[in-house]
Amino acid sequence: MKADVPRFGLLAVAVTLLSACAQWPLPLVGPDYTSPDLTLPSRWTAPAENRATADIARWWRQLGDPRLDALIDAALAGSLDLRLAEARLRQARASRDQAVGGLFPSVTGSAGATRSRSAANIGALPARTTYDAGFDAAWEIDIFGGTRRGIEAATADQAAVAADLDKVRVSLVAEVARNYIDLLSYRRRLSIARDNLASQSETLQIVAWRYQAGLAASTDVEQARTSREQTRAGIPDLEVGQVAAENRLAVLLGSSPGSLRVMLAGDRPFPPVPASVGAGIPADILARRPDLVAAERTLAAETARVGQRLAQRFPSLNLGASFGWQAYSLAALGGGGSLARSLSGSLAATLFDGGRLKSAVAIQSAVQEQALIAYRSGVLAALEEVENALAAYAADRERVEARQAAAEAARNAAQLSRNLYQSGLADFQKVLETERTRLSAEDNLAIAEATMRSDLIKLYKALGGGWEAGAVQEISKDTAS
């Protein structure tokens, strides 16, 4: 047993010495990442309230529609796109763990037996078995920081993928809400079309009676029938749109098309909209929008990879140690005479490669520049998106107010002209015109109300609403579903 102390002690000392090298103050080549300087406006030019945007993390709750809340909760729990993004995040975490592993020594163990036979005229023992067992430790010292830059890049990549997960969540919430508004819009327009169809059928009956009584011409009957059939012809398109919105919602929730028919049954009014939206200041979107966070983290990763490529141009130092036993019998394998051990070290450097390593650094520097340009371009596009959404939402509110007044006037005019026609004080052409105007005004009002809510959703999405810090929970690496 006394031989156990030196043999295991030697292995422990070797591994300890290799690991201790990781604590040396080694240089780190390549550029250190700093956030790019951006010149942003101090306030939005479109009408907006510059109050904080903290209320947009779960903006759909402010609309006060329980069915919409249930749809979004179900989508966040069952969306396949979200599960795909979560799997990518697990992959990024594993890649970072793999990069961190490069800082530490690797230790392997082995055991084996070799049966050999010599020529009979050479030795007295023509056949023998050799047993061996041992451990090997190897480590490449990160002298110039290539491994550390790789870890830095993998860490930034993980943060970018986590931001992409938030981006998927923002898009998913917005898509569910938008398709829900589309569904309500189609249902509202269907209701308007069917009400007008019923009214036009009643008008046709009145005209037919007047024709039979000799008070109206046959052309009036045909015109009334034409108007009714034109209204009826537009209903199937609205029904198809309604079904498409229902099916799209089901797919967004990770369900088969048609599975939400019962849940979505029944007419509902459009959810109310807030009087104003806190848009904050333009600088807020840098932290609020996941796509910008992902682009900034991608820039950080590509910056770190410049140092990783540059480190490959410098010498590398590899240390190794082995410890084991060799004997001709299993009984003698653990004896002191069977002990074998070694320490090794090698320094290697590329003396000539035709400029390949230098070109690799130049390539990565160009990739870093592209990431910087993409980030700056993304910021400008985000500012444009918010400005356009703010302007559209402000215009929508004015448009809806005008459409409401127009629809009310059109309904009054249609009723008045119908009464005058029944009294013989107006011709039938006036009735047809006012009924067509009423149908168009009411349909345009429904479209305007849906557009206002869709543009509100676009505004919330442009501001980065739909996620909150800490929303990305720890995802188990071995989770299968």
Q: How far apart are CA 190 and CA 239, in angstroms?
A: 7
Cα 433 off chain centre by: 50
Helix (H) or strand (E) segment spanning residue 289: none
Q: How far apart are CA 172 and CA 387, in angstroms?
A: 22
Q: Which residue's entry shows tokens 């056949």?
A: 127
6: pLDDT strictly greater than 70: no
Given this model, what pLDDT does residue 176 score?
Answer: 96
Q: What percent of the chain has pLDDT over 70?
A: 86
Given this model, what pLDDT does residue 474 score?
Answer: 45
Given this model, what pLDDT does residue 207 score?
Answer: 84
- For residue 69, what pLDDT band results from cuts at 50, 70 and 90? very high
CB atoms within 10 A of CB 54: 11
Express each pLDDT in 327-375 by its tens digit: 666 666 666 666 777 888 888 888 888 899 999 999 999 999 999 999 9
Express each pLDDT in 167-186 by its tens digit: 999 999 999 999 999 999 99
pTM score of the predicted model: 0.83
Residue 252, C-beta contacts closer than 8 angstroms, at least 6 positions apart: 75, 79, 172, 175, 176, 179
Q: What is the mean pLDDT of the chain?
A: 84
Q: How far apart are CA 106 and CA 301, in angstroms?
A: 26
Express each pLDDT in 433-478 by its tens digit: 888 888 889 999 999 999 999 999 999 999 998 887 655 544 434 4
Q: Which residue's entry shows tokens 């990739």?
A: 367
Instruction: Check if the beta carbon of residue 119 is closer than 8 Å to that of residue 126.
Output: yes
Given this model, what pLDDT does residue 363 score?
Answer: 96
